[in-house]
Structure 1
């Protein structure tokens, strides 16, 4: 990962902590992919994809979270739940866009199909 990505993930982690989230894991990897941040927001387990951009001339960071990427994140989330033996009533997939001038947190950024998980 490049410096921009690392700095973006660190900024996102600090942002979530400041909002009261409890960080459980960072950069969880499974055969399907990786999840940047896994956290708890009260009783909700949140899987967070972080996208950093130095500029948006070719589209914002959210555009990089394609349906294929969403499927990988959902499959990796399922692997995380199985590996940890966890069950949550509420699970959410968020995206944090880190730009030089701001951080944008999109809760419920996508909803994976049931068959994906």
Structure 2
């Protein structure tokens, strides 16, 4: 073992950072790491009356792409499928909902640079 955290540890930490950030902006986090037949949803929360599915992405210093840019078309389709499955399973089809991205990178002034992109992925 070389002492470096694995991707699961980094992912859990990054999702916790995102959850704290979103809470500070008035979002109520309902669930974390939701797995269903559609795929995985990192965070689910309420922003006012809107149910929001959050994809959290971290990119380290020196990465060639931002967290938001790292979401491929295939990943977008999986997120839409996972969100749709969640809405169906919980009888929430008529609830306003959206899929947002929270991109996190090391910051220059603060520890992290966080970008919240609302309605980033559409069905």
Taking structure 2 as the reference length, the TM-score comes to: 0.84
CA offsets per residue over residues 44-91 of structure 1, 9 Å max, x none?
111100001112432111122111111101111111112222234421
Residue of 89, 92, 96 corresponding to 1:83: 89
**Structure 2: gaps spanning 5 or more residues:** 1-6, 108-112
Residues 1-117 of structure 1 aligned to structure 2 (within 5 Å): 1-101=7-107, 102-112=113-123
Task: Kindly state the Cα deviation for residue 6 of structure 1 after the two structures are TM-superposed.
Answer: 1.3
The alignment partner of 2:119 has SS state of coil
Taking structure 1 as the reference length, the TM-score comes to: 0.88
**Which of structure 1's runs of 4+ aligned residues deviate more than 4 A?**
none
Counterparts of 1:5 and 1:56 in 2: how far apart (Å)? 18
Question: Which sits farther off after the overlay, 26-35 or 54-63?
Answer: 54-63
- Larger of the two Rg values belongs to structure: 2
Aligned residues: 112
**Structure 1: gaps spanning 5 or more residues:** 113-117
Counterparts of 2:45 and 2:21 in 1: how far apart (Å)? 12
The alignment partner of 1:82 has SS state of helix
